[in-house]
């Protein structure tokens, strides 16, 4: 996502066309997250087992990822997404998360807290080289987004937790999202 992209001047949603928000090439997938979690959670010695029992919480029941995204667009069609993978944006030099779904058909959501522009959600449009971007300036009935750094660090990546609740309607477009997540590393 280019740092200078902004919503249209009238506050509608904007499209990014130069590149996908988070493509498949080089993106950390579920295997990368699992390897990182495995390295942090599986002790190599009996002493390591005793010392690392507290780190098991970083990969255990404290992690949570729930919710769905539903988009209905006259121009790009309708799609839904229920993410199964949450990756901290720290891996890609931004504060936020990337949400993807196993067996992904090109959809994905990036939630960002930019220190200048504030919160934004960028959603890949399946089968297109475009992303739909929604910010607080967009005309949404509900725009409730919150991100915060967790208290767990795995492989020098801070876990991120938060939520994103959206209800946006415009001519020919409807976006409804409700995500809750924690332990995203």
DSSP string, 118-148: EEEEEEEPTTSS-EEEEETTS-EEEEEEEEE
**Are residues 108 and 22 in contact, defined by beta-carbon separation less than 8 angstroms?**
yes
What CA–CA distance (Å, rounded) separates 57 from 55?
5
> Which phi and psi (to 5°) does residue 115 adopt?
-65, -20
Quote the pLDDT of residue 2.
Answer: 38
Q: Which of 7-21, 44-58, 96-110, 167-181 has the lowest mean pLDDT?
A: 44-58
- Once rounded to an integer, what is the mean pLDDT over residues 89-106? 90
Cβ density class 28-43: b for 16+ within 10 Å, e for less: beeeebeebbeebeee
pTM for this model (two decimals): 0.70
**Are residues 180 and 64 in contact, defined by beta-carbon separation less than 8 angstroms?**
yes
- Which tokens is 142 given? 């509900």
Q: Which residues pair with 85 in a beta bridge?
A: 100
Taking only the tens place, the pLDDT of each residue in 48-76 is: 222 233 333 334 446 899 999 999 999 99
- Which tokens is 153 given? 């660090």
Neighbouring C-beta atoms of residue 68, cutoff 10 Å: 13
- Which tokens is 167 given? 């209800």
**Are residues 127 and 145 in contact, defined by beta-carbon separation less than 8 angstroms?**
no
Q: What is the mean pLDDT of the chain?
A: 75
């Amino acid at each position: 996502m280019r740092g200078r992209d902004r919503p249209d001047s009238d506050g509608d949603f904007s499209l990014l066309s130069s590149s996908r928000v988070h493509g498949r090439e080089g993106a950390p997938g579920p295997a990368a997250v699992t390897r990182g979690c495995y390295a942090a959670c599986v002790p190599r010695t009996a002493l390591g087992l005793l010392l690392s029992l507290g780190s098991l919480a970083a990969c255990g029941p404290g992690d949570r990822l729930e919710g769905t995204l539903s988009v209905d667009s006259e121009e790009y069609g309708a799609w839904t997404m229920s993410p199964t993978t949450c990756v901290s944006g720290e891996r890609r030099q931004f504060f936020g998360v990337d949400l993807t779904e196993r067996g992904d058909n090109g959809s994905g959501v990036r939630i960002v807290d930019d220190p200048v522009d504030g919160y934004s959600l960028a959603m890949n449009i399946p089968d297109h080289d475009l992303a739909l971007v929604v910010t607080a300036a967009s005309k949404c009935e509900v725009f409730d987004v919150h991100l915060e750094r967790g208290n767990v660090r795995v492989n020098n990546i801070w876990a991120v937790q938060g939520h994103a609740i959206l209800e946006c309607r415009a001519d020919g477009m409807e976006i409804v999202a409700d995500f809750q997540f924690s332990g995203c590393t």
